[in-house]
Amino acid sequence: MADLQTLLAECAATVDKTMDLLLPKPDDAEALLFEAMRYSCTAGGKRLRPFLVMQSAALFRVDKRCAARVASAVEFMHTYSLIHDDLPAMDNADTRRGRPSCHKQFDEATAILAGDALQALAFEVLAAPETHADPAVRIELVRELSQAAGGHGMCGGQMIDLLAERDGEMNIGAITRLQRLKTGEMFAFSSVAGAILGKGSYRSYMALHNFAQEFGLAFQIADDLLDVEGDPEKTGKPVGQDAAAGKATFVSILGAERARAQAHLLIDQAVHALEVFDEAADPLREAARYVVDRTN
Amino acid sequence: MADLQTLLAECAATVDKTMDLLLPKPDDAEALLFEAMRYSCTAGGKRLRPFLVMQSAALFRVDKRCAARVASAVEFMHTYSLIHDDLPAMDNADTRRGRPSCHKQFDEATAILAGDALQALAFEVLAAPETHADPAVRIELVRELSQAAGGHGMCGGQMIDLLAERDGEMNIGAITRLQRLKTGEMFAFSSVAGAILGKGSYRSYMALHNFAQEFGLAFQIADDLLDVEGDPEKTGKPVGQDAAAGKATFVSILGAERARAQAHLLIDQAVHALEVFDEAADPLREAARYVVDRTN
């Protein structure tokens, strides 16, 4: 296989191009809304969720254009959650990926609406015939994404996160559940999307689902470690934000060494879950190893 | 047909019961999110959009339980838009239907998340097999609702509304477009939902679509008139809020008399659009007349 960084960059280029085609063009009275949507969608980032979609789709030889639409829908959903999480009432973040956050670049009302419209756009993209000829496949994608994004998924996880910051009491079970909801469900959707698009077997669907569960938690532990040990020049974030906010994390509870060991154990399990696939799944295996060793 | 108020009350009872079944129960760490979702969904209201769904579905003899699910999805979407519109950064409304608005009863972060999760829930409900056995029907519902709610629909309309309040320059064409997006698209979805569920002819679909276009504008003009002439005891809102906010409305531009005449003309056109249907469409015709003559 090609080098992982090359694959990630290729995927990001494909998905960025697809998102550009799917995002509305600013032209009418509501142009400001579309500008805000585009501003946040073009802020860069590793496009890790789109990568999972494209790679899981490749396992089933899904048409790349179809996969890129689903990858774009996931990234629209992810971007909407970042815009809303950054709002003053939530995490109150002035910057995101080194640029002003959406509500700082525009204003709060526009940022709320841009997030709302991006969520609607994600479903609109999945529902369109261009995403897959079979409506049963499209509705399955809508169903899984809506569950991953809603009260029993991303929104529920963000609610627990906010409540935890207020009272600060969290044990390792509670944090695991929080992260499975907040970020894990969207990783899981991204990983199984290929099996849905390619009408894969139940066995391959479950393999990708289990992969994503472990992958997501390892990703989060690595994130917590970077907050403690990362190089601010590479992460683009000051060190120790979680601790300063009094936030319980995998690292604050387990300590850095045990957290790191746990992350590597999870990645071994994630890779193990992929054993039903041949070397076509190597980019997913590589991505899993990269996620815990990354420096940004 | 039964008296319109009886039909409206019956519809509200059916849909309230269905929404109760569909909303998540507050039990886990994220209970507060579900409480906020339920709080705003049970605030009452005329349930006009659900009524349009139930009545258009009845024209095609759609199973009532299926129709009630779609009606609930529309009301979840409508409720999310009210929660977000009431936020301090948007219309900054402390009350809604005589009770504290969601962010006043809970807090801003919870209100943002409750709205986000209600939007996801609306799509989840449409996508579930219980809504219709045919996935092609369900994906069509998702497609139309996502378009009605997104940047070219409700969100786009709200953006124009916010910008118009800031610079105040609006002519009648601009207000018409604003309202077609902000409220019209959701009325249109509600009205055509029955034709989609019942696989009605293109002619009947278009009849309901045209009905909703006129209905929606007439509804908005009546709203503007109530702001000027309404009885605060009945509307639950102080008189003259739009004028105080310097907001251009149909009434501020046309004057009350011409606006009233315009609303009645629109309703005549709405009723005319329904001529392809027999007396089964009488409740829709009655609802159209009620909407311009209502006092709350």
Q: Which of A152, A178, A180 should one mutate to test binding to chain B, selecting the residue with the greatest count of B CBs within 10 A?
A: A152
Confidence check: pLDDT of B243 > 90: no
The answer to whether the CB atoms of A119 and B116 lie below 8 A apart is yes
What pLDDT is recorded for position B88?
97
What pLDDT is recorded for position B247?
79
Q: Mind telling me how many Å the CA of A184 is from chain B's nearest CA?
A: 16
Looking at beta carbons, which residues of chain B come within 8 Å of A110? 159, 162
- Nearest Cα residue in chain A from B169: A29
The answer to whether the CB atoms of B156 and A33 lie below 8 A apart is yes
Split at pLDDT 50, 70, 90, the class of A1 is low
Confidence check: pLDDT of A169 > 80: no
The total of other beta-carbon atoms located within 10 Å of residue B4's CB is 16
Strand stretches in chain B, DSSP E = 95-96, 99-100
Residue % of chain A over a pLDDT of 70: 98
Give residues with Cβ within 8 angstroms of B39, minimum separation 6: B102, B105, B106
The answer to whether the CB atoms of B159 and A33 lie below 8 A apart is yes
Which residue has tokens 């897959």?
A132
Q: Mind telling me how many Å the CA of B49 is from chain A's nearest CA?
A: 19
Split at pLDDT 50, 70, 90, the class of A30 is confident
Q: Give the SS3 label for residue B54.
A: helix
Looking at beta carbons, which residues of chain A come within 8 Å of B90? 109, 112
Q: Give the residues across from B99 on adjacent strands.
A: B96
Across the interface, of A29, A112, A149, the residue whose CB is closest to B174 is A29
Which of A125-148 are b and which e, b meaning 16 or more Cβ less than 10 Å from the residue's Cβ?
A: bbbbeebbeebebbbbbbbbbbbb
Q: Which of A84, A107, A108, A113 should one mutate to test binding to chain B, selecting the residue with the greatest count of B CBs within 10 A?
A: A113
The answer to whether the CB atoms of B32 and A121 lie below 8 A apart is no
Q: What is the DSSP string of A77-135?
A: HHHHHHHHHHSTTTT--SEETTEE-HHHHS-HHHHHHHHHHHHHHHHHHHHSGGG-S-H
Q: What mean pLDDT is predicted for residues B240-254?
A: 82
Q: Which of A78, A110, A124 should one mutate to test binding to chain B, selecting the residue with the greatest count of B CBs within 10 A?
A: A124
Closest CA to B50 of B83, B24, B25, B77: B77
Chain pair A-B, CB pairs under 8 angstroms: 167
Q: Give the SS3 label for residue B15.
A: helix
Give A25 or A150, the one with higher predicted confidence.
A150
Q: How many residues are recorded in chain A?
A: 296
Looking at beta carbons, which residues of chain A come within 8 Å of B153? 120
B96 DSSP 8-state letter: E
What pLDDT is recorded for position A168?
66
- Nearest Cα residue in chain B from A170: B29
Specify the number of domains making up chain A: 1
Q: Give the residues across from B95 on adjacent strands.
A: B100
The answer to whether the CB atoms of A157 and B30 lie below 8 A apart is yes
Across the interface, of B29, B128, B151, the residue whose CB is closest to A33 is B151
Closest CA to A73 of A26, A9, A113, A15: A15
Q: What mean pLDDT is predicted for residues B171-185?
A: 91
The answer to whether the CB atoms of B159 and A89 lie below 8 A apart is no
Strand stretches in A133-272, DSSP E = none
A83-109 pLDDT, tens per residue?
999 999 999 999 998 899 999 999 999
Q: Mind telling me how many Å the CA of A268 is from chain B's nearest CA?
A: 30
Looking at beta carbons, which residues of chain A come within 8 Å of B107? 89
Whole-angstrom distance, CA of residue B291 vs CA of residue B215 = 8
Confidence check: pLDDT of B162 > 70: yes
Split at pLDDT 50, 70, 90, the class of A281 is very high
What pLDDT is recorded for position B12?
85
Provide the CATH number for the domain around residue B57.
Answer: 1.10.600.10
What pLDDT is recorded for position A13?
86
Average pLDDT over chain A reads 92
Q: Mind telling me how many Å the CA of B22 is from chain A's nearest CA?
A: 12
Looking at beta carbons, which residues of chain B come within 8 Å of A177? 29
Dihedral Cα B172, B173, B177, B178, nearest 10 deg: -40
The answer to whether the CB atoms of B84 and A116 lie below 8 A apart is yes
What token pair was written down for B131? 């809504």
Strand stretches in B129-239, DSSP E = none
B59-108 pLDDT, tens per residue?
999 999 999 999 999 999 999 999 999 999 999 999 998 899 999 999 99
What pLDDT is recorded for position B295?
72
Q: Mind telling me how many Å the CA of A146 is from chain B's nearest CA?
A: 5
Confidence check: pLDDT of B168 > 70: no
B270-293 pLDDT, tens per residue?
999 999 999 999 999 999 999 888
Most distant pair of Cα atoms in chain B: their distance: 54
State phi, psi for A95 to the nearest 5 degrees: -125, 160
Q: Are A194 and A66 in contact (CB under 8 A)?
A: no
Domain extent for B10: 4-293
Confidence check: pLDDT of B4 > 90: no
Q: Which of B35, B91, B103, B113 should one mutate to test binding to chain A, selecting the residue with the greatest count of A CBs within 10 A?
A: B113
